[in-house]
Structure 1
């Protein structure tokens, strides 16, 4: 039997055991939540919390140990580099023109409906539903499960394509920090501003964003701005790197899910690392502020005299800073354990893409039920955007749907473990050196798993001091 056959067989066994571990863990956790229905009203699990969390952490830990058995560099490189071409440039250009035109039409429709359409109840407004159900939930899910649709649909890119550009040099020191700052502002506004109940306010934010985006693209060029400075484009590009369908210079190619994350051009500098950490933290933040511990912390800070808007900002930025510290510390420990001359900065950049698999798992858990539940309301709003029904239809999810949420979290972490292993094998020449280098990041992933599962297990409350 050849070396590659042995490696392939070993990998098959590892993958099977990892998937079995996921199935067992999610089965135990989900079975304990059948009566509570996690997507509707999260409650305490019937098994002890410590066992619930230990099971999820065990999945990540065991999958990490199993993936470490695969040390054949040639096999790993071959598996991650495999791809099948799907289209050509002519097809991609035609799709871009059609999709961009549709995107511009939808953007104009959202602005009109947001200004003159119904106000006060967000679930009746097509502007609100398109923003949160379609863009934030459905298109993002498509990005990491199928392929990035945003370059085709991006209305601002289509608008800029017919405008003159100044083509000024983009300051290299800025990197993607403007996109990081903008995304943090958007997450904060979602919490403290009545963007759901006030379509006009949401439309105002969309118009301000449109002006800034078009101005940035005109000043620095479309390719540069949408690659680095525009938060929505960076959002979809990074989530899209998890998907099996990838964009290439020749069109599209089909790869194994997550294989793109092992490439060294997904995350290119610390500013993109910062954006990746926002993707992970913003979903954890959104879950934390509606749990009993989060509500208690917010009420305590407001009680001592801090304005609610400032409290939410401090929690958002403070938690993000803590994520940075944990990740930077893990990069330093990895460098020490691997005994390498590679810089901590380079290690932090190369190990950031696996976190996108975790972010995708978090997003799936948060938004898959949300998308399904509000799908009928979206169709009703689109059928009569200026005069929708007063009582939009929402689907009630079955109690076992919690199984899907938890499976998304765990599968995302297991995929992240595999990609981190592939990166370590590529970076470090010694097998034991590569294995030792993974320990700090495995610990970080286990901690992230336990935190996310703990938040999912808690009952859901309303975020305090938030405008209706």
Structure 2
């Protein structure tokens, strides 16, 4: 039975039309977002018990650490297992290969398919790079320093132009700027991803990606690669911070295995702009989940069952992105301030905030993984298909052009069960590790274990609250 005649007239019976429209809508290709699993099934799971259990796990970890001798934990963190030794010689080659791939992706954005699920550029940028590579950085360490598309071209340009490769004679990025350039660029990136009406449009994304590479490259030539990549280029700054959590440590060419988060304990306090950068990394992902909830849309009188689209919500989204960051920064600063008062801390507030903010890294990484997991599982398959035919010319470069995408991996009751358990487990583990790191950092500031524990009480309460908030985000109904 056809729903349309040759002239385009629809069936007269409304019930049949509604049934047909619903059936067709279920087969339309739409981008797989972070909440691709069936929320109806998730809500039927005992999510309340998970939330209570997660909060309890974080609280118990604080109590255990408060009673644990600092020397025992210090010995735990210091353990290293030597593995192998390698040099930096291939780094330039890997970066040049990455740059060539970047150029091809940008070209595909302009010349390839207009469908975001068929063009490799949005799939690689949003799924493989932002969702998938962040996970690799947190697990394997700083791969980005070898694969970023700037280092190789910068080395070549330095030789061609006769610029000193060691940056000694080049103008420097003023220290007074801190991480402000990276923060501004990261905020612009978050706004483009979360608020812009069409961040998946291949041509629009290709223009943004191409301009960003060019501007960053010019900045590296002016102020030096090290200065700009460490405090200006936000991807390098973000990935370097995430890599501090990884259980692999490389010093002077020697690779060793350490406990996850051990490298965070040797970090120096961040300036206020660096602290803001790390908090933005967490707040932006949190707002991405919050912005689609029935609760958030209801605050502004938006019917979540009649989602108006991103264009109609630009103002609300921009306000929410800023508000989420400001609230998180204020609550984090308040928790640190109250902890100082409880412990009678004489260190400067800026130093303590800049040091303890490193404990946010496990939480930010956990939220990133949990939030983008479903998109990575589904859109990652679309990326494999699109990469085999980047320009929509019928190629099959990697033998994956005809691969069937299994979207069912995140659909249905069984998938919802394992996906929820994995996401919830990651978030709870991230907060427990954050408590562990925060306590160890506090012992750098306080020689008396009782003072260190007191200083961490408000921050632990914040982490318990954020655990509840994160699990609620995963379970609550969403629109779009």
TM-score for both structures, normalised by structure 1: 0.84
1:127 and 2:124 correspond: no
Aligned residue for 1:55? 53
The 5 A counterparts of 1:180-195 are 180-195=183-198
Alpha-carbon displacement from aligned partner over 1:320-341 (angstroms, at most 9, x marks no partner)? 1111111111111111011021
Q: How many residues align?
A: 419
Aligned residue for 1:15? none
- 1:214 pairs with one of 198, 217, 222: 217
Tell me the SS of whatever aligns to 2:256: strand
1:396 and 2:408 correspond: yes
Q: Distance in 2 between matches of 1:443 and 1:234?
A: 28
Aligned residue for 2:397? none
Aligned residue for 1:159? 153
Q: Distance in 2 between matches of 1:446 and 1:94?
A: 45
Aligned residue for 2:231? 228
Tell me the SS of whatever aligns to 1:159: helix
Q: Distance in 2 between matches of 1:196 and 1:47?
A: 33
Aligned residue for 2:473? 455
Aligned residue for 2:23? none
1:67 and 2:70 correspond: no
Aligned residue for 2:299? 297
Shift of 1:307: 6.7
Aligned residue for 1:138? 132
Tell me the SS of whatever aligns to 2:249: strand
Aligned residue for 1:347? 352
1:257 and 2:260 correspond: yes
Indicate conservation of the 8 Å contact 1:146/1:245, yes or no. yes
Deviates more, 1:122-131 or 1:44-53: 44-53
Aligned residue for 1:96? 91
Indicate conservation of the 8 Å contact 1:38/1:457, yes or no. no
Q: Cα 1:326–1:367, aligned 2, differ >3 Å: closer, same or farther?
A: same
Aligned residue for 2:433? 415
Q: Cα 1:47–1:110, aligned 2, differ >3 Å: closer, same or farther?
A: closer
Q: Cα 1:392–1:160, aligned 2, differ >3 Å: closer, same or farther?
A: farther
Aligned residue for 1:427? 445
Alpha-carbon displacement from aligned partner over 1:40-88 (angstroms, at most 9, x marks no partner)? 1224634776554322211111111112221232x32222222234443
Q: Which runs of 5+ in 1 are unaligned?
A: 1-36, 463-468
Shift of 1:162: 1.8
Aligned residue for 1:82? 79
Tell me the SS of whatever aligns to 1:99: helix
Aligned residue for 2:24? none
Tell me the SS of whatever aligns to 1:459: coil
Shift of 1:38: 6.7
Q: Cα 1:52–1:307, aligned 2, differ >3 Å: closer, same or farther?
A: same
Shift of 1:300: 5.5
Q: Which runs of 5+ in 2 are unaligned?
A: 1-33, 164-168, 395-400, 410-414
Tell me the SS of whatever aligns to 1:161: helix
